[in-house]
Amino acid sequence: MRLVSTDAGPARPPTIRTVAARAGVSKSLVSLVLQNSPRVSEQRRAAVLAAMAELGYRPDPAARSLAERRTRTVGVVLDDLTNPWYVDLLAGLRPVLHDHGLRPLLADGATEPDAVAALADLRVDGIVVVGTPADSSIEQVVGLGDAVPVVVAGTRESRLTVADVVANDDDAGARLATAHLLEHGHRRIAHIVGEGEVGRLRRDGHIATMRAAGVTEHCVDGDWTEATGHRLARELLDRDDRPTAILAANDLCAVGVLAAADELGLAVPGEVSVVGYDDTVFARLPRLSLTSVDSHIAEVGQAAGEALAARLAGDDPGAPTTRLITPALVVRGSTGPAR
Amino acid sequence: MRLVSTDAGPARPPTIRTVAARAGVSKSLVSLVLQNSPRVSEQRRAAVLAAMAELGYRPDPAARSLAERRTRTVGVVLDDLTNPWYVDLLAGLRPVLHDHGLRPLLADGATEPDAVAALADLRVDGIVVVGTPADSSIEQVVGLGDAVPVVVAGTRESRLTVADVVANDDDAGARLATAHLLEHGHRRIAHIVGEGEVGRLRRDGHIATMRAAGVTEHCVDGDWTEATGHRLARELLDRDDRPTAILAANDLCAVGVLAAADELGLAVPGEVSVVGYDDTVFARLPRLSLTSVDSHIAEVGQAAGEALAARLAGDDPGAPTTRLITPALVVRGSTGPAR
DNA sequence: ATCCAGTATTGGAACGGTCCAGGCGATCCG
DNA sequence: CGGATCGCCTGGACCGTTCCAATACTGGAT
């Protein structure tokens, strides 16, 4: 009596050699069929395809990566999926990658300072850094040299000259929003400034538009969070010479501004108008109905994917490029004429 | 003059053999150090580690996967990252996977019907299906047999008996919400029922609680979207015998209900109370201030990760388990006493 | 000195693909 | 008719690991 069973454990999935044996050809030919080479006769090709179908053959990505010395994978560094901005950008990026046979591998730049290095260790073919990168990320990207192509999406980043950049034209967006408020007769307009390069660009666009209209700007430094928007708006709106309009750093910040106005009993837009930026899902909520600048963020993600795919195709070894997507103003119920 | 440069292209990253040569040992020993085997002398171990550090060696995951015949990767099937519920669950799941040395690979079940099969083709070690799975997903999971362990997170799914299940106790949550409304003296309460198993469970909990209090329920079939919540609430609230409270299928649906109440000029909670489910970011918005059932969804994600890790460790080849997380009611400004 | 039991180390065969240098008929051309 | 050409196909090396069987030491007991 045999104690060892004859079948060797759980049946392994078929390999290229199994298929070759079944089709009566060499494994090399199966490989050629796999990458549908034109140098295979129709007859053989059909035989191989039939064998594959019968066996339910699926190529092993690990083996392929090892031999090809590329993974068909791109790392995507995100900060916070809770922020719909990142999700929307990802929604634009993902299909492009898919169309180029690339898989996204998400990493969290906020909780994991070594995200870029970790992705490099995984041998991703390229990296998309979404949003304002942490200092550590910048260092690591620079450290990569030209080993791995990098695209920065969603922000212009002056410290990073080695990567392609695709971003919303923040300057233009801030001008749109400011012009809208000026047209409604607002003169006392406050702007809550966001952090980093994006914050600076939006501020500069705002200031330029204000001055061109002969109006003095009033900027306060803030960040992208609801809490800060709330706190700063309370301070701004609690004064006698309170602004009649507030241009928030982004939608999230604007949500905080709305809350502050509500608490102070100020009608929106009757007594104070509020403008956000990014046109996220929050802006569209009926109860908020926030006028916002649509940064076409999905389009940014799409362009970023295309830029990376072009780099990977190798047909574009030129200097890093910058591409700006033109934003658009979406007017809703949170803005109206100044009293 | 030589046209061909002497260095063979871009320097390849160091391999286990490079390290071995540098440390003066065999590649096998380097491999042993890599998996820190106790059967290596301290002296050699130190030499190998030093060589690795000097060369900046990083193991190649593809080669490792090929040899180990596992990828240390788990597929996560999601429907919609736009919905914060999925994001919050993912936030609970991700750290657990990370702690077990597993990487998540996200797939979109909504746009890609073959998501489960595609993940299997990628040779993921396990799969987490988040939310109510599409029919195609169910078929594919069943088709996998026991080749790949599967955990369903966020919903009980009676059609899927091969997988572990971790979910919120929807029945209990609906009871909490309903009891809260009854305590406030509401008697005409409408419930918008969500789709699938989750919708059924919440409905049953609601009905049971209503009947136990001697009150007749009023359920209408809906789904999880804002649009449907809006439409159904308009119908419900437009009648003379309109309900004094509405238990929405989830928060998103509740957002639509609020919009309907606003349009009809009905005060919330003065003339109608509204309850959501999931306690997402929407419920916490000051302008909405939605009473909601916190489904502790991050905890669900965490438990799902642990269940999958246990399966992968192989120490638990038992029958599929079901684990329910107890929800909690979060009372905010959208509910109050019946008039 | 010899043998033995461990322990530390090594060589080589996988793992499942890609890719390259030929091989082998059949066709073409001089 | 012989050789070059072409189209199709094959064997084998290689990608960077893991794992196993075999070997080389070490020191103590005989």
Q: What is the pLDDT of residues B238-251, one digit of tens each?
A: 999 999 999 999 99
Verify that A175 and A163 share a domain, yes or no. no
Verify that A212 and A251 share a domain, yes or no. yes
Verify that A244 and A303 share a domain, yes or no. no
Best interface-test mutation with A: which of B85, B87, B94, B282 has the largest number of A CBs within 10 A? B87
Verify that A100 and A200 share a domain, yes or no. no
Spell out the alpha helix ranges (H) of A145-216: 170-183, 196-212
pLDDT given at position A9:
55
The per-residue pLDDT for range B223-232, each reduced to its tens digit, is: 999 999 999 9
Smallest Cα distance from A123 to chain B, Å: 7
Q: What is the mean pLDDT of chain A?
A: 94
Best interface-test mutation with B: which of A55, A64, A66 has the largest number of B CBs within 10 A? A66
Integer angstrom CA distances of residue A58 from A16, A49, B174 = 9, 11, 45
B21 within some domain: yes
A8 within some domain: no
pLDDT given at position B159:
84
Verify that B183 and B79 share a domain, yes or no. no
Mean pLDDT of A233-261: 97
pLDDT given at position B6:
44
Asked if the model's pLDDT at residue B220 lies above 80, the reply is yes
Q: What is the mean pLDDT of chain B?
A: 94
Verify that A157 and A181 share a domain, yes or no. no
Q: Which residues contact B20 (CB under 8 A, 6 or more apart)?
A: B26, B27, B29, B30, B48, B51
In this complex, the residue of A62, A87, A123 whose CB is nearest that of residue B123 is A62
B116 within some domain: yes
B279 within some domain: yes
In this complex, the residue of B10, B62, B66 whose CB is nearest that of residue A71 is B62
B205 within some domain: yes
A157 within some domain: yes
Asked if the model's pLDDT at residue B8 lies above 50, the reply is no
pLDDT given at position A316:
65
Mean pLDDT of B280-307: 97
Best interface-test mutation with B: which of A94, A97, A285 has the largest number of B CBs within 10 A? A285
In this complex, the residue of B65, B82, B287 whose CB is nearest that of residue A287 is B287
In this complex, the residue of B63, B81, B108 whose CB is nearest that of residue A81 is B81
Residues on chain A bordering chain B, Cβ-to-Cβ distance under 8 angstroms: 10, 58, 60-63, 65-66, 71, 81-82, 84, 87-88, 90-91, 94, 103-106, 108, 121-123, 147, 255, 258-259, 262, 281-282, 285-288
pLDDT given at position A58:
98
Verify that B139 and B85 share a domain, yes or no. yes
Asked if the model's pLDDT at residue B3 lies above 70, the reply is no
pLDDT given at position B227:
96
With CA atoms as reference, the chain B residue closest to A146 would be: B10
- Which residue has the least CA–C1' distance to nucleotide C13? B67
In this complex, the residue of A84, A91, A255 whose CB is nearest that of residue B285 is A255
The dihedrals phi and psi of B317, each to the nearest 5 degrees, come to -90, 25
Q: Token digits for A176?
A: 């749109």
Confidence band for B334, pLDDT divided at 50, 70 and 90? very high
Verify that A287 and A186 share a domain, yes or no. yes
The dihedrals phi and psi of A146, each to the nearest 5 degrees, come to -105, 20
Confidence band for A3, pLDDT divided at 50, 70 and 90? very low
Nearest nucleotide (C1') to the CA of residue B37? C8
Strand D bases with any atom < 7 A from protein Cβ: 7-12, 14-21
The per-residue pLDDT for range A287-320, each reduced to its tens digit, is: 999 999 999 999 999 999 999 999 999 766 688 9
Mean pLDDT of B186-193: 98
With CA atoms as reference, the chain A residue closest to B146 would be: A10
Q: Token digits for B96?
A: 């657990």
- CA-to-C1' distance for B66 and C13, Å? 14
Q: What distance in Å separates the CA atoms of residue B23 and residue B26, rounded to the nearest whole number?
A: 9
Q: What is the CATH number of the domain that holds A51?
A: 1.10.260.40
Confidence band for B163, pLDDT divided at 50, 70 and 90? confident
pLDDT given at position A59:
98
A1 within some domain: no
- CA-to-C1' distance for A65 and C21, Å? 23
Asked if the model's pLDDT at residue B1 lies above 80, the reply is no
* B281 interaction partners in chain A (CB closer than 8 Å): 82
Asked if the model's pLDDT at residue B184 lies above 90, the reply is yes
pLDDT given at position A303:
98
B310 within some domain: yes
Q: What distance in Å separates the CA atoms of residue A106 and residue B156, rounded to the nearest whole number?
A: 27
Q: B149-183: buried (b, 16+ CB within 10 Å) or exposed (e) per residue?
A: bbbbbbbbbeebeebbbbbbbbbbbbbbbbbbbbe
Q: Report the percent of chain A where pLDDT is more than 70.
A: 96
Smallest Cα distance from A47 to chain B, Å: 22
pLDDT given at position B318:
81
With CA atoms as reference, the chain A residue closest to B117 would be: A58
Strand C bases with any atom < 7 A from protein Cβ: 7-12, 14-20
* B109 interaction partners in chain A (CB closer than 8 Å): none
How many helical (H) and strand (E) elements, i.e. helices and strands, does chain B have?
13, 12
Beta carbons of B158 and B150 less than 8 angstroms apart:
no
Smallest Cα distance from B215 to chain A, Å: 32
Angle at A131 between CA A84 and CA A99, to 5 degrees: 75
> Which residues span the domain enclosing B122?
72-168+297-324
DSSP letter for each residue of B191-226: EEE-SHHHHHHHHHHHHHHHHHTT---EEEE--S-H
Asked if the model's pLDDT at residue A7 lies above 70, the reply is no
pLDDT given at position B315:
66
pLDDT given at position A8:
44
Tell me the sheet residues that pair with B193: B221
Verify that A155 and A84 share a domain, yes or no. yes
pLDDT given at position A319:
86
Strand C contacts (Cβ < 7 A) comprise A 12-13, 15-17, 27-28, 31, 34-35, 57-60, 63-64, 66-68; B 25-29, 32, 38-41, 43-44, 63, 66-67, 69
Better pLDDT: A202 or A146: A202
Better pLDDT: A339 or B50: B50
Beta carbons of A251 and A279 less than 8 angstroms apart:
yes
* A81 interaction partners in chain B (CB closer than 8 Å): 81, 87, 90-91
Beta carbons of B115 and B85 less than 8 angstroms apart:
no
Asked if the model's pLDDT at residue B7 lies above 50, the reply is no
Smallest Cα distance from B81 to chain A, Å: 6
The per-residue pLDDT for range B47-58, each reduced to its tens digit, is: 999 999 999 999
The per-residue pLDDT for range A21-60, each reduced to its tens digit, is: 999 999 999 999 999 999 999 999 999 999 999 999 999 9
Smallest Cα distance from B133 to chain A, Å: 20
Q: Please give the span between the terminal C-alpha atoms of chain B, in angstroms, as a whole number.
A: 97
Q: What is the CATH number of the domain that holds A238?
A: 3.40.50.2300
Verify that A252 and A225 share a domain, yes or no. yes
- B212: how many CB neighbours lie within 10 A of its CB? 12
- Which residue has the least CA–C1' distance to nucleotide C14? B67
Asked if the model's pLDDT at residue A244 lies above 50, the reply is yes
Nearest alpha carbon to residue B71 among A325, A106, A122: A122
Beta carbons of A180 and A329 less than 8 angstroms apart:
yes
- Number of structural domains, chain B? 3
Best interface-test mutation with A: which of B79, B81, B125 has the largest number of A CBs within 10 A? B81
Verify that A190 and A247 share a domain, yes or no. yes
Confidence band for B44, pLDDT divided at 50, 70 and 90? very high
Mean pLDDT of A88-101: 97
Verify that A88 and A199 share a domain, yes or no. no
